[in-house]
Amino acid sequence: MYEISRRRFLQWSGALGGGLASSAILPLPSIAEDVKTVPSSKKYDSIKWAGCTINCGSKCPVRVFVKGGKIDHIETDNTGGDEFGSHQVRACLRGRSNRYRVYNPNRLLYPLKRIGKRGEGKFARISWDEALETIATKMKEVKEKYGNEAIYLNYATGTTGAIMNRCTAGPWVRLLSLFGGYLNYYNSYSTAQITDGLNHFYGTSRGSDIMNIEYAKLVVMFGNNSVETRMSGGGTGYAYKCALERGGAKIIHIDPRYSDSLVGACDQWIPIVPGTDGALIAAMAHVMISEDLHDKEFLSKYCVGFSSDTLPEGTSENSSYEDYVMGRGEDKTEKTPAWAENITKISAQTIINLAREVATTKPCFIAQGWGAQRQSNGEQAARAIATLAAMTGNIGSVGTNPGTREHTTGWIEPASLPYKNPIKDAIPCFLWTDAIVRGKEMRDITDGVRKTTQLKQNIKFLWNTGGNCLINQHSDANKTAKILEDESLCEFIVDVNVTRTSSNRFADIILPDATPLEQEDFVRSSAGYSNDRPYIIYSQKAIEPLGESMPIYDMCTKLAEKLGGETLKNAFTEGRTQVEWLEHLWDVKFKDKEGIPTFTQMKEMGILKLPRYKKPLVGFEKFVQDPIANPLKTPTGKIEIFSTALDKMAKTWILHEGQAITPLPIFTEAKDGPLDPARKTYPLQIFGYHYKGRTHSSFWESAPIREINPDELWINPVDAKERHIKTGDKVLVYNQYGTMSIVAKVTPKIMPGVTSCPQGGWYKTENGIDVGGCINSLTTHEPSAIAKGNPQHSILVEIKKA
């Protein structure tokens, strides 16, 4: 085993690519001088470096202790010290529990073939040859009958951090591309609305590094829970706490739930009704305009559409954001703090005080998590929060953030496995069930289809690899189950995973994947949020794959031969093994670069850490310094508070009833939101939150972690008393989509009228009731208006004692 000595961390220049900036300027020590051997204990046969590739937003190193060909236990990083910047990148409890994933009782050890009705979960063991032959035969049949557009690789994030062991990239996309292509997707379940909304606002959704908080005087967080969601040494949560300690900024959290991010690090908690952030921002804008507190110089120089004199040419009168706020717009309603109080349940005086404080304190770091935008009106919420940063001029300078989610200063990684999909048609990833049922009806102006005006085919062959979005993480699980069970719709489903899951019960063939500890790979810190301290892990193979499980590269190699003989196999592999590809992809970036470790050296080292950047990334710094020389990637080159692109879309797109597209970041009522008339029947709002006990649905299969982190429904004492519910009671949560059974936790850490539970519980029904705690038993397939993203935080329910 090897480590990099603390005083000699390698620091590389921007020549490495992958986001590294020129602030990394220290001279390079020689590798031989820098690497030192650390003797292994005689108690173990080997100690291997590996990485946790699950999609929590961190990608952490672990050390795997092996004895007799088996994993004895797992420890975390032991290189470096405790001082931030040279600290150990310590994995959280989930990362340290990866041994439980390897030796899980439900581990997939052999290929399986469905023998019952689809969805029944009845399978029989078959050989690899039969499994791949069956898959290849069906793929050829679908290609011949429907075309390659009928083949789809489903969105998934269960293994995102690696180069080769990747669920929706790497070997899979390379093989499918060589076979003639597949239907693409865009967006993600996590960030569709914020990405789309801020692309129309800034031309990108990328913000500042969270380490800017060290230089801020005030921090305002909207639904941002980095401590709980990214809680490891490589994650944003640890960096956030360190930056707060160093800088001492006042911090305000605006969130319906008192999350772990607020514990010990919050001066003011402002509970807000979910889905009403746009109303809060409008009322704050009313205060700033009325009291002349907004940064008019910044808005005039850098922005389009805040006031009438900066509107694009040809727009109608009274169509600026200022007109909307002051009641001169179409609805003729002033967005006063009193108006917002009725919607947000934040007192008018609190709104006034908040507006004054944010407007008069610089630098102010304004950021939003991904919860606020995961609503049916999420694009509007994301743009509204960004508008707050623009109104106060807190953009482009150290200590600020442009109202986006925090980002990473830089990273290091090798090249990716090359591929070129000849099919260009793409759907929003959330609409794959629509593409199964009515694919040929889906259009650009109705469903956000891209690179074509209308889809050519319904999805007939579905790959689900390394993910649980086939049922568990997708909306309306009950409706989704019915779609997947119907073999006349999607004719064949292949699932690739390391364990049995709620998703692969709907597969026709299940293939057993090797875990990250059973193969060699790079683990990319760029797949997470390493902030201003980049690193990369070479995951050294610790043990042989259990049973007949195998790495996906080997699966794809064997399947390529079934699909196209030696010709396709050779085109896919180019004569390389998985490790030889890793060496090639490393050399594409770093071969013959002075002072940079060779692949052989990197393979032996296991982990390479770079020092902190001298200065964290500041979002839009160059644009603010010179907006003419550094225009934004918006149609006007400026910050578009009035979006010219959305203005055109509003005139042409055909939307669901009750939906609207507006060029301004105004407050719009959410479907299944707080103002929906359906609240008379289902009076409580509910949302799912990312939980310490799992990452999405990953690690649910680990019984020890599940025991430590039980699923509980948070309910306010006011709502609990009305329903005669106390902590520990089993309750039924229900609406028009389904019913979920879960245990209640009565707590004032959730605001009245709102309830919450961890997302990611595995879907399991008994007598029509989900008993697995899967919140997607209660969510809708109807997407958001603009991004066509998932609205899984817009839910209305009623709760009763079971």
Task: Note whether residue 360 is domain-resident.
Answer: yes
Exposure string of 404-433, with b = 16+ CB inside 10 Å and e = fewer, is bbbbbbbbbbbbbbebebebebbbbbbbbb
Of 404, 450, 425, nearest to 195 (Cα)?
A: 404
CA gyration radius, the chain: 26
Question: 319: domain CATH number?
Answer: 3.40.228.10
Residue type, 7: R
DSSP 598: P
Structure tokens given for 779 = 């969510």
| Residue 270 shares a structural domain with residue 154 | no
Task: Note whether residue 125 is domain-resident.
Answer: yes
Tell me how far apart the alpha carbons of residues 255 and 291 are, in angstroms, rounded to a whole number: 26
Tell me how far apart the alpha carbons of residues 774 and 771 are, in angstroms, rounded to a whole number: 8
Structure tokens given for 560 = 């390529």
| Residue 292 shares a structural domain with residue 381 | yes
Tell me how far apart the alpha carbons of residues 162 and 172 are, in angstroms, rounded to a whole number: 13
| Residue 361 shares a structural domain with residue 492 | no
Tell me how far apart the alpha carbons of residues 131 and 51 are, in angstroms, rounded to a whole number: 30
Task: Note whether residue 89 is domain-resident.
Answer: no
Tell me how far apart the alpha carbons of residues 256 and 272 are, in angstroms, rounded to a whole number: 5
Tell me how far apart the alpha carbons of residues 331 and 75 are, in angstroms, rounded to a whole number: 59
Task: Note whether residue 414 is domain-resident.
Answer: no
Residue type, 372: A
Task: Count other C-beta atoms under 10 Å from residue 400's C-beta.
Answer: 28
Please calculate the CA angle 13-163-408 and round it to the nearest 5 degrees: 45
Tell me how far apart the alpha carbons of residues 537 and 608 are, in angstroms, rounded to a whole number: 6
pLDDT of residue 527: 64
Read out DSSP for 254-275? E-SB--GGGTTS-SEEE---TT
| Residue 399 shares a structural domain with residue 293 | yes
Task: Note whether residue 597 is domain-resident.
Answer: no
Task: Count other C-beta atoms under 10 Å from residue 342's C-beta.
Answer: 11
Tell me how far apart the alpha carbons of residues 75 and 547 are, in angstroms, rounded to a whole number: 25
Of 52, 307, 145, 209, nearest to 530 (Cα)?
A: 209
| Residue 285 shares a structural domain with residue 347 | yes
Structural contact between residues 461 and 182, judged by C-beta atoms closer than 8 angstroms: no
206 Cβ partners below 8 Å, 6+ apart? Answer: 404, 407, 619
Tell me how far apart the alpha carbons of residues 418 and 474 are, in angstroms, rounded to a whole number: 29
Please tell me the total count of domains within the chain: 3
Residues of the chain under the 50 pLDDT cut: 1-40
| Residue 469 shares a structural domain with residue 398 | no
Tell me how far apart the alpha carbons of residues 483 and 165 are, in angstroms, rounded to a whole number: 29
Question: 755: domain CATH number?
Answer: 2.40.40.20
Structural contact between residues 400 and 214, judged by C-beta atoms closer than 8 angstroms: no
Task: Note whether residue 75 is domain-resident.
Answer: no
DSSP 609: E
Question: 457: domain CATH number?
Answer: 3.40.50.740
Tell me how far apart the alpha carbons of residues 74 and 798 are, in angstroms, rounded to a whole number: 43
722 Cβ partners below 8 Å, 6+ apart? Answer: none
Structural contact between residues 731 and 702, judged by C-beta atoms closer than 8 angstroms: no
Structure tokens given for 789 = 């993203």
Structural contact between residues 61 and 76, judged by C-beta atoms closer than 8 angstroms: yes
| Residue 303 shares a structural domain with residue 326 | yes
210 Cβ partners below 8 Å, 6+ apart? Answer: 226, 236, 239, 240, 243, 367, 401, 406, 531, 616
Range of the domain at 719: 677-801
447 Cβ partners below 8 Å, 6+ apart? Answer: 427, 428, 431, 434, 788
Structural contact between residues 516 and 51, judged by C-beta atoms closer than 8 angstroms: yes
Inter-CA distances, 774 with 46, 472, 586, 713, Å: 40, 7, 41, 11
Query: Based on the number of CB atoms within 10 Å of its own CB, is 126 exposed (0-12), middle (13-18) or buried (19 or more)?
Result: middle
Inter-CA distances, 505 with 91, 115, 123, 494, Å: 31, 11, 9, 10
Structure tokens given for 56 = 């929590």
Tell me how far apart the alpha carbons of residues 733 and 749 are, in angstroms, rounded to a whole number: 19
| Residue 696 shares a structural domain with residue 774 | yes
Pairing label, strands 492-497, 509-512? parallel
| Residue 274 shares a structural domain with residue 315 | yes
β-bridge mates for residue 770, sequence order = 740, 765
Half-sphere exposure in the Cβ direction for 71 (13 Å, CA)? 28
| Residue 630 shares a structural domain with residue 773 | no
pLDDT of residue 41: 52
| Residue 294 shares a structural domain with residue 375 | yes
Structural contact between residues 618 and 213, judged by C-beta atoms closer than 8 angstroms: no
Strand order in the sheet with 364-368: 268-270, 250-254, 218-222, 364-368, 401-402
Supply φ then ψ for residue 331, to 5 degrees.
Answer: -85, -10
Task: Count other C-beta atoms under 10 Å from residue 316's C-beta.
Answer: 8
Residue type, 361: T
Helix axes 337-344, 348-360, angle to 10 degrees: 110
Helix axes 348-360, 277-290, angle to 10 degrees: 70
Tell me how far apart the alpha carbons of residues 593 and 416 are, in angstroms, rounded to a whole number: 19
| Residue 294 shares a structural domain with residue 437 | no
Task: Note whether residue 777 is domain-resident.
Answer: yes
Task: Note whether residue 217 is domain-resident.
Answer: yes
